[in-house]
Chain A
Amino acid sequence: MANRVNLQGNQACALGAIAAGCTFYGGYPITPSSEVAEAMARELPKVGGTFIQMEDEIASMGAVVGASMGGVKAMTATSGPGFSLKQENLGYACGAEIPCVIVNVMRGGPSTGMPTRPAQGDVMQARWGTHGDHPIIVLTPASVSECYTETIRAFDLTEQLRVPVIVLIDEVIGHLVETVDLDDLTPQTTVSRKFADTPVEGFEPYAVTEDMIPPFPRPGDGYRSHTTGLTHMPNGFPTQNPAKAEAALTRTTDKLVLHKDLIEFCQLIECAGADLVIVAIGISARAAEQAVRDLRGQGVNVGLFRPLTLWPFPETTLKAAVQGAKAVLVPEMNQGQMVLEVERLMAGDLPVHALNKIDGEAITPSEIAAKVKEVL
């Protein structure tokens, strides 16, 4: 039976979280993300879950990680300034490998910036916002239905891999209303983390398994293990032994390389035989898709590469997608962030052009088309 509804991107993130089995939300209001919290406050009680509005974003991130340490699926949502406040506890979750999902609805920045205007200025904050070398996954839905499905995928990934996942959308996508069929979009199964079930005797909470993802010891199941943000050994206790410290840190980043195929997800539109490939995310990708259609109609051979997994960046797929192209264009609503990664990957093989906009307006298809014609 169809379940067609008019839904906003932010609300779709919330409903996606519920569909994924999320039972805890800790948040703090901030435009343009507040609808995620409001939807969770309404929906969670219906499934026996818990919503709490904490005293600030630092606390909400702490509460989310705390709930997840208890073994439940947990999420928070925020925007730029709040995302900055969440970074320390997000780093803790990266280091201690605690699953959690953070929706970041990007607005103009820095600081209070333009709270109700869209931007894509957190491309780098999402990757490098917390301190130290750390693993992280960032997903970039570009429609209301993708807000739903990518939030579900975010939970599946965070639970499976024990790495925090950020759902990164811009204000336009967050506030966009589209008609979606939730029944069509809801998967049959969702993934929960692998809970430890081996004998308590000799159990090591960060044991190096073949898949590099240690089974999670749920409090109450008898393991009585220790969790810390200090660099730790497989037994969970801190170490400063150089070899052990390096091994521990390397495993948490290597696990993303090992599970690359599970994580990476992109959409390629008309890339085969394209003279120019556009690389874009979020609302800029929606504009780029329209530009591709318009330009193709005019006989200009362009394609679109859309990394739904922004970090880790799908390097191999991008390199394959630009085979035969003469140039790459990266339109983004910032002063040039994702373009740095694309330039790094093209390594001088192909010219990489940027189209940047920081005036609080979305990039339009005609702006992209004009830039394509200029550089081709």
Chain B
Amino acid sequence: MKDLEPETPFEINDYIRLEQMPHFLCPGCGHGIALRALLWAVHELQIDKDKLAVVSGIGCSGRLSAYIDANTFHTTHGRPLAFATGLALARPDLHVIVITGDGDSLAIGGNHLIHACRRNLNLTCMMLNNEIYGMTGGQVSPTTSSNRYTTTTPAGNTEPVFDACALASAAGASFVGREVTMQVTGLKNLMRGAIEHHGFSFVEVISDCTEIYGRKNDLGMSPEMMLSQKATMRPEAYRNTVDVPFRPNALECGVLTQKDRPEYGSAYREMTANLRAKGKQHG
């Protein structure tokens, strides 16, 4: 990463594999906006694409890695953080970014998420929360809102919802943030902060699955879904203001947690270097 701002404006085509177009996302899917914001942040940070590794899980979100012009790894359902942990420890010279979904990271991969937060290895995790299992046709997920219809909650969802950011913060993530896709610039800035952060960073992107979740719950087309998400959010600037006109349970956006904790990879390498130095002295 370099200190100077890039001289050239962000041009997404510089960061995607054009030969993989057309992409497979449905028209209106929020995941595409998240991808754009991520690549914009990569551009602003002037990360060398040869040194960028993107590790994704399985889901519509997981498919994004294939479109990025970098070292990309589409792994198994729920496990991208485990793969990324090995990759980042073996190759500390790489910038490792994980793309995951709400099902991928909070259901099947929940164990890996909390331990990645606890370990604080230098990784960035972008979680695309569309409140649904998009890829498999719209089943309930740990973030599906109350009473919403999915193919496995035909009478409406009665399960409680996970607050992914609260979970990540409680588990020890040293950088946590949330943003809606409507705020592309805000999301880009948040991703930038997350990537720059030395330690484990977790960003929840409020995405939309227009095609399945939107349709099944009469949430309108993508613009309506994005506008209603924006209406429920509370921007960072208003965090400490009175609630009006925001809903009391408004979605807090922006940076939610940022703290200095020892980064796992550096701590491990320091320990091994000390051991080796000692070994030499004695031997």
Residues of chain A touching chain B, judged by Cβ–Cβ distance below 8 Å, are: 23-24, 26, 44-46, 48-50, 52, 54-56, 58-72, 74, 88-89, 92, 219-230, 237-238
Q: Are B85 and A54 in contact (CB under 8 A)?
A: yes
Pairwise interchain contact A63-B89, C-beta atoms closer than 8 A: yes
Quote the shortest CB–CB distance from B190 to chain A (angstroms).
25
B279 touches A46 (CB 8 A): yes
Q: List 20 A-B contacts (CB under 8 A).
A: A23-B90, A44-B272, A45-B275, A48-B272, A49-B272, A50-B272, A56-B111, A59-B115, A62-B76, A62-B83, A63-B85, A65-B83, A65-B86, A66-B82, A66-B87, A67-B87, A70-B94, A71-B91, A220-B50, A227-B74
A-B contact count (CB 8 A): 141
Q: Is B173 an interface position by the 8 A CB rule?
A: no
| Contact across chains for B86 and A63 when beta carbons are under 8 A apart | yes
Residues of B within 8 A of A226 (CB): 17, 65-66, 72-74
Complex contact B85–A52 (CB within 8 A): yes
A153 to chain B, nearest CB (A): 23
The A interface, classified by DSSP as helix, strand, loop or mixed, is mixed
Given A45-B271, A63-B82, 5 more contacts at CB 8 Å?
A48-B272, A67-B90, A220-B51, A225-B72, A237-B20
B216 contacts partner chain A, Cβ-Cβ < 8 Å? no
Which residues from A are CB-within-8-Å of B88? 66
Q: Nearest Cβ distance between residue A206 and chain B, in whole angstroms?
A: 14
Q: Which one of A23, A48, A62 lies within 8 Å of B82 (CB-CB)?
A: A62
Contact of B76 among A50, A68, A92 (CB under 8 A): A92
B123 to chain A, nearest CB (A): 11
Please measure, in the bound complex, the distance between the C-alpha atom of A118 and the C-alpha atom of B205, giving whole angstroms: 50
Q: CA–CA, A98 to B71, complex, Å? A: 15
| A58 to B83 CA separation, bound complex (whole angstroms) | 10
Q: 3 smallest A-B Cβ distances: which pairs?
A: A62-B82, A66-B86, A63-B86
A270 CB to nearest B CB, Å: 46
Q: Which residues of B contact A58 (CB under 8 A)?
A: 79, 82
Q: Are A228 and B86 in contact (CB under 8 A)?
A: no
Distance A238 CA – B23 CA, assembled complex (angstroms): 13
- Using a CB–CB cutoff of 8 Å, the interface residues on chain B facing chain A are 17, 20, 49-51, 53, 55, 65-66, 69-76, 79, 82-91, 93-94, 111-112, 115, 268, 271-272, 275-276, 279
Q: Are A62 and B115 within 8 A (Cβ)? A: no
Task: Kindly state the separation between the CA atoms of A89 and B81 in the bound complex, as whole angstroms.
Answer: 13
CA distance A72 to B86 in the complex (A): 10
Return chain A residues, CB-CB under 8 Å to B66.
Answer: 226, 228, 237-238
User: Known: A55-B111, A55-B115. Contact between A46 and B87, CB under 8 A?
Assistant: no
**Which chain A residue shows the least CB distance to B84?**
A66
Say yes or no: A46-B115 contact (C-beta < 8 A), given A220-B51, A220-B93: no
B54 → A minimal CB distance (Å): 10
**Are B90 and A24 in contact, CB atoms less than 8 angstroms apart?**
yes
B253 → A minimal CB distance (Å): 29
A237 to B19, CA, bound (A): 11
Judge whether A62 and B86 touch: CB under 8 Å.
yes
Question: What is the interface of chain B mostly: helix, strand, loop, or mixed?
Answer: helix
Q: Are A67 and B72 in contact (CB under 8 A)?
A: no
**Structural contact, B275 and A66, CB atoms closer than 8 A:** no
Q: Are A59 and B112 in contact (CB under 8 A)?
A: yes
Task: Output the residue of A26, A59, A67, A88 with the most chain B CB within 10 A.
Answer: A59
Would you give the shortest CB distance from B71 to chain A, in whole angstroms?
4
Task: Tell me, rounded to whole Å, the shortest Cβ–Cβ distance linking B272 to chain A.
Answer: 4
Q: How far is the CA of A48 from the CA of B280 in the complex (A)?
A: 13
Given A45-B272, A46-B275, verify A89-B94 contact (CB < 8 Å). no
Contact B79 A89 (CB under 8 A): yes
How far, in Å, is B104 (CB) from chain A's closest CB? 13
Instruction: Specify the chain A residue showing the minimal Cβ separation from B20.
Output: A237
Chain B residues near A70 (CB-CB < 8 A): 53, 86-87, 90-91, 94
Q: Contact check, A66 vs B74: say whether CB atoms are below 8 A apart.
A: no
A230 near B86 with CB under 8 A, answer: no
- How distant is the Cα of A60 from the Cα of B89 in the complex, in angstroms? 13
Q: A55-B115, A227-B72 are in contact. Are A48 and B276 (CB under 8 A)?
A: yes
Q: In the complex, A64→B112 CA distance in Å?
A: 14
Q: Provide the bound-state CA to CA distance between A55 and B72, in Å.
A: 24
- B77's nearest neighbour on chain A, judged by CB, is A88
Complex interface: chain A residues within 8 A of B70 (CB)? 224
- What B residues does A50 contact at CB under 8 A? 89-90, 268, 272
* Cα–Cα distance between A289 and B70 once the two chains are bound (Å): 54
CA–CA, A23 and B92, complex, Å: 14
Are B72 and A46 in touch, CB under 8 angstroms? no
Quick one: which of A44, A65, A225, A228 contacts B71, CB cutoff 8 A?
A225
Among candidates B76, B94, B279, residue contacting A88 with C-beta atoms closer than 8 Å? B76
Name B50's closest neighbour in chain A (CB-CB). A222
Nearest-Cβ distance from residue A283 to partner chain B, whole angstroms: 32
Docked CA distance A322–B272 (Å): 53
Nearest B residue to A52 via CB reads B89
Of all chain A residues, which has the CB nearest B53? A219
**In the complex the two chains form, is A46's CB within 8 Å of B276's CB?**
yes
Bound form: Cα–Cα A49–B86 in Å: 12
Whether B276 contacts A219 by the Cβ 8 Å rule is no
Which residues of chain A have C-beta atoms less than 8 A from B79's C-beta?
58-59, 62, 89
List residues of chain A with CB within 8 A of the CB of B49: 224
